[in-house]
Chains A and B, each alone.
Chain A
Amino acid sequence: MDFAFTQEQEELRREARAFLEANPEAPLSELRELGWLGVSVPEERGGGGLSFLDEAILFEEAGRALYSGPFLTTAVVLPALPEVDEQAWSIEVDGFVPDLLHVDRVLTEEMRSVPAEGETLATMDETRPLGRLTSSDGEALDGEWEPVRLRLLAALALEAVGIAQRALELGIAYVSEREQFGKKIGTYQAVAHPLADTYVETELARSLAYWAAFSVAEDEEQAPVAVPAAKAFCAETAVAACERSIQVHGGIGFTWEHPLHRYYKRAQWLDAFGGHAAVQRAVVAAALLD
């Protein structure tokens, strides 16, 4: 049992964090130049020949930086293609397509590759609008939807961990500076304890997300349960982390100018896309009880 990333993987995390902090709105092409697309696709199909665990680090860091390009969907689709291509991809789930306007093609649940044409809807998370396809006609791809779905849900869980982590960091920084009644507000237990809870839940969520990523990477038997378990817990943790952070920020946390609302909306986006936590838990419950 070895539950740690390798030194190379930790190095990748440092690189990703530094790059995304400096360039949170970098175009997808720059991420491709960094070798971040097709990471887990075998080299003979044009990929990086690494593991989904390496990709996991990138999903988490993209979440932490609130990266807004179609990185997650493209990375999730590429292993399903015969060969890694240069296009930006999205994915249709329950009739919704994230970032429809910013991608070239869309993979549907019927495993069809469809041109990205359709309407974009006004979405609560403005940084990742949902769209609807005009037509789901397209060329059929070989392979099954299930591995794509598991990669997608695991990636959403990992991104949620990044969101929760950032919300926690923002909360810690604020309560360590802000003073009321002559004291730093972080000295008050009513303020500190919710952040302690966020820390505990974020670490639990992280463990589940890595477990899910490992299960996907190694094609483990438990993947169909581990992945929805992680998606449920991580998305709810991200939402709660943002809510607590908004609360300890007081009025400023409720404003448009503060970045927290963007994290909060992304967290809710992650919970909704692919099925809310209760939907994921129903899958887990069926595996345990039926």
Chain B
Amino acid sequence: MDLRDTPAEAAFRAELRAWIEENLTDEVRRGRFEEAGRDWSRKLYEGGYAGLTWPKEYGGAGAPYSHQAIFLEEMARAEAPSHLGVIGLGMAGPTIIAHGTEEQKQARLDAILSTEEIWCQGFSEPGAGSDLAAVRTSAIEDGDHFVVNGQKVWSSFAHIADWCILVTRSDPDSQSHAGLTYLIVNMHSPGVEVRPLRQITGEAEFNEIFFTDVKVPVENVLGEVGGGWAVAMTTLLHERGTLGFALTAALEAQIRKLIALAKERGATDVQRDAIAREWIGLQAVRYTTYRSLTTLIKTGIPGPEGSGAKLWWSEANQRVTKLALELLGPEAQVIGDNGYWQHQQLRSRGNTIEAGTSEILRNIIAERVLGLPRSR
């Protein structure tokens, strides 16, 4: 056991810090989401930091997972904007690598790395949230293509996306996990309509996507026709798998701001206790993620202990943002310069819902980790 960086990790960290110092200008930090995001994503690609853990044969850096962890830590520490291609890099890409044909890999992976093509995810539907197997968006095979009809919801980036990973029901008589097909859909196809979904914060980070007689070529099936469930599970494994480091890094940045606020405004003994509690929780999540990472490096499978990271983080972020408003006192209602904490507090309510509700995550832990009798 050695919790310090190895010489190789320390060298990677130093090199990355120098790169950030040189490339992350205030202009990038303050820029508008989309343009600045594209710019920054391209810089990351040119710097060799896109697809760090992707295999070299598909244009990745083939780096160990520990480098990905360091990358996320340093990006959060520098308060860098997030990569516009998070869905492509973290979910679509790895799923294509795992299940795609050689043609699909050749056609899509390079553009994911360079962020020339932006991706969104079409999983949830108004009637299929936690119960993903209840999706009803239909894909009916008709010669050399599928005809897609239906509605997806909660799709980040859909308004700027070029491609969508879409879970559909290809067998209208099927139920639940059987009869699903996973498609790669061009978002510029006729019949695709994206409507922004204004959320609790007032902004529209997510979208609804409507599909009306959208034609998708059969060669855009990922995996087997009717075998979409297994492919979707690969995507979700990646969504939740690499999440731990990103969440730890985000929480660290949040708690650093909280401490600065407390120093500036002062804190009561009760608030000091609460701040210490959250900082301790952060260290706990960080080192648990490291433990899970060590297992991943040694065995190829992340350790089960990491499964609680998202669950803990989401509730911690809700407490931290509320605590910040409390430190602001009666001023908490007043949206000052940028309304950072007000926005963060409202946004945090989504944390226990997105990427697996806390209830679903507790079910998964109870059944798959603790081996309790199944409830369904």
Interfacial chain B residues near A1, Cβ < 8 Å: 2-6, 9, 66, 69, 290, 293-294
Partner of B373, one of A187, A193, A208, A232: A187
Contacts of B291 in A (CB 8 A): 3-4, 203, 206-207, 210
Cβ contact of B372, chosen from A195, A207, A229, A284, cutoff 8 A:
A195
A208 & B375 in contact (Cβ 8 Å cutoff): no
B293 partner residues in chain A, CB cutoff 8 A: 1, 3
Taking CB atoms, residues of chain B closer than 8 Å to A9 are 1
**Is there a chain A Cβ closer than 8 Å to B312's Cβ?**
yes
Contact of B277 among A2, A192, A205, A281 (CB under 8 A): A281
- A residues 203-222 with Cβ under 8 Å of B? 203-208, 210-211, 214
Given contacts A203-B305, A206-B305, A289-B263, A3 and B1 within 8 Å (CB-CB):
yes
Question: Please, how many angstroms separate the alpha-carbon atoms of A69 and B369 in the complex?
Answer: 33
User: Of all chain A residues, which has the CB nearest B70?
Assistant: A1
The interface residues of chain B lying within 8 Å CB-to-CB of A124 are none
> Are the CB atoms of A204 and B276 closer together than 8 Å?
no
- The answer on a CB contact under 8 Å between A208 and B276 is no
Task: Give Cα A188–Cα B6 distance, bound, in whole angstroms.
Answer: 45
Q: Tell me how far the C-beta of A12 lies from the nearest C-beta in chain B, rounded to whole angstroms.
A: 13
Q: Is there an interface contact between B288 and A188, defined as CB atoms closer than 8 Å? A: no
The one of A196, A204, A284, A289 in contact with B370, judged by C-beta atoms closer than 8 angstroms, is: A196
Q: Given the complex of chains A and B, what is the CA–CA distance between A284 and B283 in angstroms?
A: 12
Q: Mostly helix, strand, loop or mixed at chain A's interface? A: helix
Q: How far is the CB of B310 from chain A (nearest CB, A)?
A: 10
Task: Find out whether the CB atom of A189 lies under 8 angstroms from the CB atom of B285.
Answer: no
Q: Does B311 contact A (CB under 8 A)?
A: yes
Q: B280 touches which one: A6, A195, A232 (CB < 8 A)?
A: A232
Instruction: Judge whether B272 is part of the interface by a CB distance below 8 angstroms.
Output: yes
Judge if B140 is at the interface, Cβ distance under 8 Å: no
Q: Is B284 an interface residue (CB 8 A)?
A: yes
Q: Say whether B251 faces chain A, with CB atoms less than 8 Å apart.
A: no
Nearest residue (CB) in A for B263 is A289
Interchain CB contact (< 8 A) of B281 among A5, A204, A288? A204
Query: Which of the segments B120-128, B216-224, B336-344, B357-365 contacts the partner chain?
Result: B357-365
Is B362's CB under 8 angstroms from A192's CB? yes
If over half of B's interface residues share one DSSP class (helix, strand or loop), that class is named, otherwise mixed; here it is: helix
Q: Which residues in A have their C-beta under 8 angstroms from that of B263?
A: 289
Known: A206-B305, A233-B280. A192 touches B290 (CB 8 A): no
Check B365 against A199 for contact (C-beta < 8 Å).
yes
| A204–B371 touching, CB < 8 Å | no
In this complex, what residue of A is CB-closest to B297? A2
Minimal beta-carbon separation of B169 from chain A (angstroms) = 27
Which chain A residue lies CB-closest to B306? Answer: A203
Contacts A1-B9, A192-B375 given; does A207 touch B290 at CB 8 Å: yes
Least CB distance from B326 to A in Å reads 15
What residue of chain B has the Cβ atom nearest to residue A277's Cβ? B277
Residues of A within 8 A of B290 (CB): 1, 3, 207
The 8 Å CB contact of A288, one of B3, B275, B365, is B275
Do B2 and A195 have beta carbons less than 8 Å apart? no
- Is there a chain B Cβ closer than 8 Å to A226's Cβ? yes
- Contact across chains for B280 and A4 when beta carbons are under 8 A apart: no
A175 within 8 A of B: yes
Set of chain A residues within 8 Å of B285, measured between Cβ atoms: 204
Given A186-B372, A210-B287, A214-B1, A204 contacting B362 (CB threshold 8 A)? no
Inter-subunit contact A192/B283 (CB<8 Å): no
Contact of A285 among B4, B273, B298, B372 (CB under 8 A): B273
Residues of A within 8 A of B5 (CB): 1
- Closest residue of chain A to B358 (Cβ to Cβ) is A193
Residues 152-204 of A at the B interface (beta carbon under 8 Å)? 168, 172, 175-176, 183-184, 186-189, 192-193, 195-197, 199-201, 203-204
A residues in contact with B69, CB < 8 Å: 1
Please tell me if B154 contacts chain A, counting CB pairs below 8 Å.
Answer: no
Q: Nearest CB to that of B291 among chain A residues?
A: A3
Closest to A183 in B: B373
Contacts of B254 in A (CB 8 A): none
Chain B residues near A211 (CB-CB < 8 A): 3, 283, 287
Asked if B146 is at the interface of the complex by the 8 Å CB criterion, the answer is no
Given B275, B277, B295, B370, which contacts A172 in the complex, CB threshold below 8 Å?
B370
Interface centre among B281, B308, B367 (most CB of A within 10 A): B308
Q: B-side interface residues toward A, CB under 8 Å?
A: 1-6, 9, 66, 69, 259, 262-263, 267, 269, 272-273, 275-277, 279-281, 283-288, 290-291, 293-295, 298, 305, 307-308, 311-312, 359, 361-363, 365-367, 369-375
Could you give 14 example pairs across A and B, Cβ below 8 Å?
A53-B1, A172-B370, A192-B372, A199-B369, A210-B291, A214-B1, A232-B277, A281-B273, A281-B280, A282-B272, A282-B273, A282-B276, A289-B259, A289-B263
Report A's interface with B, CB cutoff 8 A.
Answer: 1-6, 9, 53, 168, 172, 175-176, 183-184, 186-189, 192-193, 195-197, 199-201, 203-208, 210-211, 214, 226, 229, 232-233, 278, 281-282, 284-285, 288-289
